[in-house]
Amino acid sequence: MTDKIVAQKDYESSVIIRHATNAKRMSLRIDGTIRQGVLVLPPNISEEEGLEFAEKNKKWLNEQIARLPPFVPFHDGVSIPFRGKQLSVRHGGSTRGLVKFDGDRLIVFGRQEHFRRRLTDWLKSQARCEIGKLVTNKSLKIGCKAGRISIRDQKGRWGSCSSNGNLAFSWRLIMAPSFVLDYVVAHEVAHLVEHNHSRAFWNVVRSLTNHTDRGRIWLKHEGLQLHRYGK
């Protein structure tokens, strides 16, 4: 699978052309995490044909992108979700290396120009801590040991498990309700013993969390919102 970004005239954003050998038909969709159209082409469809298809659907594409919720940059006074609850984030002065709670507010210290990075780093550290505890607990339940745990800003998936047992998670999960994070960690830990999405896999997931259905539904309907923050 290969991607190519094409800037089109009169489009709200560029279009990503994705050549997929396993695709059976041409399709056009919106990737809300990057606010771009994705044109998927099977092997028997040329880029020229694909772009003609995108041109015919330009109005629909632009309308869908325009309907996406706006990005929320990290700045003094911003309101962000943290473990499912809204927090007001304020700049607290130039004292270095400190982020702390003050009631329902989060105070970020340091130079103003470093506000965005400090807040992002703090959220990542919170995600790493919470996810690390969940992975340890759940992997012990199934008698496995996870490899390296990475915290990333993944666009296409909330978590992943490599063939050698290394796990990766999106730091943005720390903004979701706790039951969502619990489900995603259970999902990836289950892949340590079941490397597919068979019935056996889902049985393992359900043995590790009580929030499988609730977590999946939340991510389906609300997950895109997490990608709005910190752009």
pLDDT at 8: 53
Region 172-181: what's the mean pLDDT? Answer: 98
Contacts of 63 (CB under 8 A, 6+ apart): none
Secondary structure element (H or E) that encloses residue 15, with its range: strand 15-19
State residue 132's pLDDT score: 98
Running DSSP on this structure, what letter comes out for residue 172? G
The pLDDT confidence band at residue 113, using thresholds 50, 70 and 90, is very high
Q: Is 163 helix (H, G, I), strand (E, B) or coil?
A: coil
Res 27: pLDDT? 94
Fold of 79-228: Zincin-like (3.30.2010)
Q: What's residue 207's pLDDT? A: 98
- Computed over every residue of the chain, the mean pLDDT equals 91
Q: How confident is the model at residue 123 (pLDDT cuts 50, 70, 90)?
A: very high
pLDDT(1) > 90: no
Q: Angle at the Cα of 124 (from 118 to 128), degrees rounded to 5?
A: 145
d(CA 100, CA 84): 18
Percentage of the chain surpassing pLDDT 70? 94
Instruction: Give the residue extent of every domain in the chain.
Output: 2-66, 79-228
Local confidence band at 34 (pLDDT 50, 70, 90 cut-offs): confident
Position 135, amino acid = V
Residue 213's pLDDT band (cuts 50, 70, 90): very high
Segment 9-30 mean pLDDT: 80
Alpha-carbon gap, residue 86 to 10, rounded angstroms = 37
Q: What are phi and psi of 134, to 5 degrees?
A: -65, -40
Q: Which amino acid is at 128?
A: R
Q: What backbone torsions phi and psi does residue 52 show, to the nearest 5 degrees?
A: -65, -40
Q: How are strands ordered across the β-sheet holding 149-152?
A: 149-152, 167-170, 159-161
Q: Is the CB of residue 169 less than 8 Å from the CB of residue 152?
A: yes
Looking at residue 138, its pLDDT comes to 98
| pTM of the predicted model as reported, rounded to 2 decimal places | 0.82
Q: Which amino acid is at 220?
A: K
Q: What is the pLDDT of residues 126-153, one digit of tens each?
A: 999 999 999 999 999 999 999 999 999 9
Query: Does pLDDT of 5 surpass 60?
Result: no
Confidence class for position 66, pLDDT limits 50, 70, 90: confident
